[in-house]
C-alpha cells in the first residue's frame, strides 16, 4: 500500500544531508516538509488503491536513489489522479519525493492547492489561465485566406489599458487564443500569429471563428507571463539534488496520442547543469509512462512504467551554451522518443481496440496469469509493429479481420475471453455448473448488499457530478474527445467530501439504535461508541467492495454458460463458427508477430522467458541522437514563439513550459493529432534505422523468414495428408 511516513523519514538519505549541512532551524523546517509530504502521499495512496483495483510499476530500477532527477510524465489522461499515482508509486518503490510543476490555476484551488503546497509543488502561471473579459468587441477586416489576419480592430475597446505586448488575446468559449505582438492604440492590435483556421476545409469550430472575427465578437485578454522566476526555482531545486516532475503536455486530455512537447523541460535540465558549481553535475531525465485500463472507471487498473534515464551532463550544458536552440530541440526529440517507448499511443481509438484485441488473440493461454506490465509491453510492441508495416496488404487485411471479429462479439454481447467457454457439452452438466456459479453470485451479492446500500448515495452523486464536470470540460476545451480525463478526479473528490458525512450519519444511527436497545451500549461512553461505529461502517463498506468484486468476476462467467444452455442447433453452429474465426485469427496474429517481430525487436525470441532481464545502463544524452539529425523539433511545432528566438537563459521569460493546448496556434484537432503522431513516428523510425541493421540485412531476414514459413506450411500440409 505504500511507505510508512515515519519509517520513510528516518531512512531517507535527504534527511541526513539536511542534518549535516543546515542550521537546526533549517533542519527542522526540512524535516517538517518531508513529513508533511509523506503524510499527504500516505493518505492519497490509500485513496487511489481504493479507486484502482491494481497499480503496478515497471522499470523502477531506472530511478537514481540520489541526485537531481526530472520525471517527465505522459500521457496526462487522468487530471489530478495522475500526479498522485506517480508520486505515491515513486515514493514507495524508489524512496524519492517528487516536487511537481503545478499550474497556478490548480495551485489556487482550495483542496488541491493545499495538498500541492504540502507536497512542495512548484507553481507555474499559464497565460490562458489568466484570461479575463475585456471591454468592447473585436474583428479582423477581410478575415480570410488572402489576408495575413494579424491586424485586430476594436470597437469600444481599451487595448492600451487592458492588453499588453506578449500577452494573449482570447476568443469566448475557449475558441482559441493568439499572442499579441504590439498594441498600436486603444482600438488596434497586431498579433504575432493569426488565429488558426482551416479556410479550405473549415470545421464547425472554424466556421464559428470566421463568423466571430468577421462580424465582431467579445474577447478576453491576459497579461504576459514571465517564466524567469519559475526556471530559477527549478534550477535551485535540481542543484540541491532533489527530484521534480512535470507533465509537459500541460492540461489533461483523453486523446490517444501524445501532444507535442514544449522546450521548457529541456531547458530546465540543461540550465541546471550549466548553473551548477559542480564540474561533474548530472541531471537524469526519467520518462514515465502512465498506461491505464479504462482510467475513468472505478476499480480499473494502471501500470506506471519508468524508462531509461537520459543523462544530461556538464558537457551537454556547455554545448547548450554554444547553440541553445539546436541542443534543446535534440533533447526534446529524445524525450519524445523515450516517452513513446513507455506508453501505448496510436492514431485513433479504432486502431487501439484492434491492437488490444490482437494482443488477446496472441495471449489466449493462461491470460489471467500474465503480469499487467507484460500486457502493456505486448500492446506497445504490437502497436510498434503495426505502425511500421501498416501499409502492407496482409497487415491491412489482418486489421480488417480483427475489427470484424470485434464487431461480431459486440453483436452477440460477448467478450473475447468468453468465446472458448461456450461449450457443446451435455446440457445437464452445463446447467449444474451454471447453477453452482449462480449460487456463488447470489451469496456474494447478499454479503455485499449492506455496504452497497450504505454507500449508494456516494456512487450516485459522484457519477452525476463527474458527468456534469466532463460536459463542462468538453465545452471549454479544443483537444478533449469525451473529457473522460476529468471523470475519475471528480469521482474521488466527491467521495472524499461526501463519504465522511455519510459515515457520520450511519454511525449516529447505529449509536442511537444500540443505546436504545442495549444496556451495555448505554454504559459505553458515547464518543468511544461513535468512533467504534464509524470504523465499523468503514470496514463494512470496504468488505462489501471486495466481496462485490468477487461477485462481479463470477457473474461475468455466467453469460457463456447460459448461452450454451439456451442455444438451439443454429446458434451452436454460429458458436462453432465464432470459435473457428477466433482460432484462425489467433494463428494469423501469431504469424504476423513471428514474421515481423524479429526484424523490429532483437529480444523477440526471449521476450517471454527473460521479461525481467533489463539493461540497466543509462544512456548519455549527448550520444543518444546522431548529430546529423537536423529535422525540426517537436519543441518548435506549432509554437507561438519565433524559431529565430534563442533558448538561452537570458530569454527564459518567453519560453513555454507546458503545451499550450488552449492556444489557437497549438490547437490540436483530430487531423492535427494524427499528423503529429505520424511525424514523430516517422522520426522514430529514422532513428531506429540508424541503430538497427542495414536495410539489406533486414530484407534478407524477411526472405529467410518467409522461406521458413513456407517450409513449415508444407510440412504441416504433408502431415495432414498423411
Instruction: Provide the 3-class DSSP secondary structure of residue 489.
Output: helix
Q: Are strands 177-185 and 188-191 parallel, antiparallel or unpaired?
A: antiparallel
Nearest alpha-carbon partner for 649 in 356, 227, 202: 227
Query: pLDDT confidence of 667, banded at 50, 70, 90?
Result: very low
Amino acid 205: pLDDT: 85
Please name the helix (run of DSSP H) or strand (run of DSSP E) that holds residue 666, with its range, or none.
none
pLDDT above 70 for 630: no
Query: pLDDT confidence of 109, banded at 50, 70, 90?
Result: confident
Amino acid 665: pLDDT: 40
- Which whole number is the average pLDDT over 149-175? 91
336 vs 686 pLDDT, higher one? 336
Query: pLDDT confidence of 30, banded at 50, 70, 90?
Result: confident
Name beta bridge partners: 58: 305
Strands (E), 579-665: 619-620
708 vs 161 pLDDT, higher one? 161
Amino acid 699: pLDDT: 52
Name beta bridge partners: 180: 191
Amino acid 200: pLDDT: 87
630 vs 499 pLDDT, higher one? 499
Query: pLDDT confidence of 632, banded at 50, 70, 90?
Result: very low
Burial of 697 (0-12, 13-18, 19+ CB in 10 A): exposed
Amino acid 372: pLDDT: 63
Please check whether residue 4 is in contact with residue 45, taking contact to mean a CB–CB distance below 8 angstroms. Answer: no
Residues making up the chain, counted from first to last:
722
Query: pTM of the full predicted structure?
Result: 0.72
Query: pLDDT confidence of 198, banded at 50, 70, 90?
Result: confident
The string of DSSP codes covering 399-466 is HHHHHHHHHHHHHTT--HHHHTT---S-HHHHHHHHHHHHHHHHHHHHHHHHHHHHHHHHHHHHHHHH
Provide, rounded to the nearest whole percent, the portion of the chain with pLDDT above 70. Answer: 74
The dihedral formed by the CA atoms of 108, 109, 112 and 114, expressed in degrees to the nearest 10: 60
Region of poorest pLDDT, from 260-269, 388-397, 474-483: 474-483
Burial of 51 (0-12, 13-18, 19+ CB in 10 A): buried
pLDDT tens across 524-574, in order?
Answer: 999 999 999 999 999 999 899 889 888 888 887 787 777 767 765 545 666
Amino acid 649: pLDDT: 64
Amino acid at each position: 500500500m505504500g511507505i510508512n511516513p515515519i519509517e520513510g523519514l528516518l531512512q531517507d538519505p535527504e534527511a541526513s544531508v539536511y542534518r549535516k549541512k543546515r542550521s537546526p532551524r533549517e533542519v527542522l523546517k526540512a524535516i517538517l516538509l518531508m513529513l508533511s509530504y509523506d503524510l499527504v502521499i500516505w493518505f492519497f495512496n490509500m485513496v487511489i488503491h481504493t479507486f484502482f483495483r491494481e497499480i503496478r510499476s515497471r522499470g523502477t530500477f531506472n530511478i537514481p536513489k540520489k541526485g537531481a532527477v526530472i520525471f517527465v510524465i505522459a500521457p496526462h489522461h487522468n487530471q489530478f489522479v495522475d500526479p498522485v499515482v506517480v508520486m505515491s508509486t515513486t515514493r514507495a518503490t524508489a524512496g524519492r519525493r517528487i516536487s511537481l510543476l503545478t499550474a497556478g490555476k490548480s495551485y489556487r484551488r482550495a483542496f488541491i492547492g493545499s495538498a500541492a503546497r504540502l507536497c512542495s509543488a512548484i507553481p507555474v502561471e499559464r497565460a490562458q489561465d489568466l484570461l479575463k473579459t475585456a471591454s468592447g468587441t473585436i474583428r479582423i477586416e477581410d478575415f480570410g485566406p488572402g489576408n495575413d489576419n494579424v491586424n485586430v480592430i476594436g470597437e469600444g475597446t481599451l487595448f492600451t489599458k487592458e492588453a499588453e505586448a506578449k500577452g494573449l488575446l482570447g476568443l469566448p468559449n475557449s475558441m482559441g487564443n493568439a499572442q499579441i505582438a504590439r498594441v498600436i492604440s486603444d482600438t488596434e492590435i497586431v498579433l504575432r500569429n493569426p488565429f488558426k483556421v482551416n479556410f479550405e476545409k473549415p470545421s464547425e469550430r472554424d466556421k464559428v471563428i470566421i463568423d466571430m472575427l468577421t462580424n465582431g465578437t467579445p474577447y478576453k485578454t491576459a497579461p504576459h507571463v514571465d517564466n524567469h522566476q519559475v526556471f530559477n526555482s527549478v534550477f535551485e531545486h535540481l542543484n540541491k539534488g532533489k527530484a521534480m516532475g512535470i507533465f509537459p503536455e500541460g492540461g489533461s486530455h483523453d486523446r490517444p496520442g501524445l501532444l507535442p512537447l514544449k522546450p521548457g523541460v529541456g531547458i530546465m535540465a540543461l540550465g541546471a547543469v550549466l548553473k551548477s558549481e559542480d564540474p561533474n553535475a548530472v541531471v537524469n531525465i526519467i520518462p514515465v509512462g502512465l498506461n491505464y485500463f479504462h482510467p475513468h472507471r472505478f476499480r480499473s487498473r494502471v501500470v506506471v512504467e519508468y524508462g531509461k534515464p537520459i543523462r544530461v551532463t556538464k558537457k551537454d550544458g556547455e554545448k547548450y551554451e554554444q547553440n541553445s536552440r539546436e541542443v534543446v530541440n535534440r533533447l526534446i526529440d529524445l524525450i519524445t522518443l523515450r516517452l513513446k517507448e513507455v506508453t501505448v499511443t496510436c492514431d485513433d481509438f479504432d486502431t487501439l481496440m484492434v491492437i488490444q484485441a490482437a494482443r488477446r488473440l496472441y495471449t489466449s493461454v493462461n491470460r489471467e496469469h500474465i503480469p499487467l506490465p507484460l500486457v502493456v509491453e505486448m500492446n506497445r510492441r504490437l502497436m510498434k509493429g503495426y505502425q511500421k508495416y501498416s501499409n502492407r496488404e496482409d497487415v491491412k487485411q489482418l486489421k480488417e479481420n480483427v475489427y470484424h471479429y470485434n464487431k461480431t462479439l459486440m453483436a452477440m454481447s460477448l467478450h473475447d475471453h468468453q468465446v472458448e467457454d461456450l461449450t457443446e457439452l451435455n446440457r445437464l452438466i452445463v446447467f449444474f455448473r451454471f447453477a453452482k456459479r449462480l449460487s456463488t453470485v447470489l451469496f456474494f451479492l447478499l454479503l455485499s448488499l449492506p455496504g452497497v446500500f450504505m454507500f449508494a448515495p456516494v456512487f450516485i452523486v459522484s457519477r452525476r457530478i463527474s458527468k456534469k464536470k466532463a460536459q463542462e470540460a468538453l465545452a471549454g476545451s479544443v483537444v478533449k474527445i469525451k473529457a473522460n480525463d476529468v471523470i475519475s478526479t471528480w469521482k474521488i473528490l466527491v467521495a472524499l467530501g461526501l463519504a465522511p458525512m455519510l459515515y457520520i450519519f450511519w454511525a449516529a444511527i447505529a449509536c442511537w439504535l444500540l443505546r436504545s436497545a442495549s444496556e451495555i451500549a448505554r454504559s459505553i461512553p458515547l464518543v468511544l461508541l461513535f468512533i467504534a461505529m464509524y470504523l465499523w461502517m468503514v470496514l463494512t463498506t470496504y468488505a462489501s467492495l471486495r466481496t462485490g468484486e468477487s461477485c462481479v468476476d463470477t457473474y461475468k462467467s455466467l453469460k457463456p454458460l447460459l448461452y450454451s444452455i439456451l442455444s438451439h442447433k443454429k446458434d451452436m453452429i454460429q458458436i462453432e463458427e465464432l470459435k473457428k474465426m477466433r482460432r484462425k485469427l489467433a494463428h494469423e496474429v501469431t504469424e504476423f508477430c513471428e514474421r515481423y517481430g524479429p526484424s523490429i525487436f532483437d529480444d523477440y525470441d526471449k521476450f517471454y522467458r527473460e521479461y525481467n532481464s533489463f539493461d540497466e545502463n543509462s544512456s548519455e544524452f549527448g550520444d543518444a541522437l546522431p548529430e546529423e539529425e537536423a529535422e525540426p523539433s517537436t519543441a518548435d511545432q506549432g509554437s507561438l514563439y519565433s524559431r529565430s528566438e534563442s533558448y538561452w537563459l537570458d530569454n527564459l521569460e518567453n519560453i513555454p513550459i507546458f503545451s499550450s493546448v488552449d492556444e489557437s496556434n497549438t490547437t490540436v484537432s483530430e487531423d492535427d493529432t494524427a499528423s503529429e503522431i505520424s511525424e514523430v513516428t516517422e522520426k522514430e523510425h529514422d532513428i531506429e534505422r540508424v541503430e538497427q541493421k542495414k536495410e539489406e540485412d533486414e530484407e534478407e531476414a524477411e526472405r529467410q523468414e518467409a522461406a521458413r514459413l513456407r517450409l513449415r506450411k508444407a510440412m504441416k500440409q504433408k502431415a495432414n495428408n498423411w
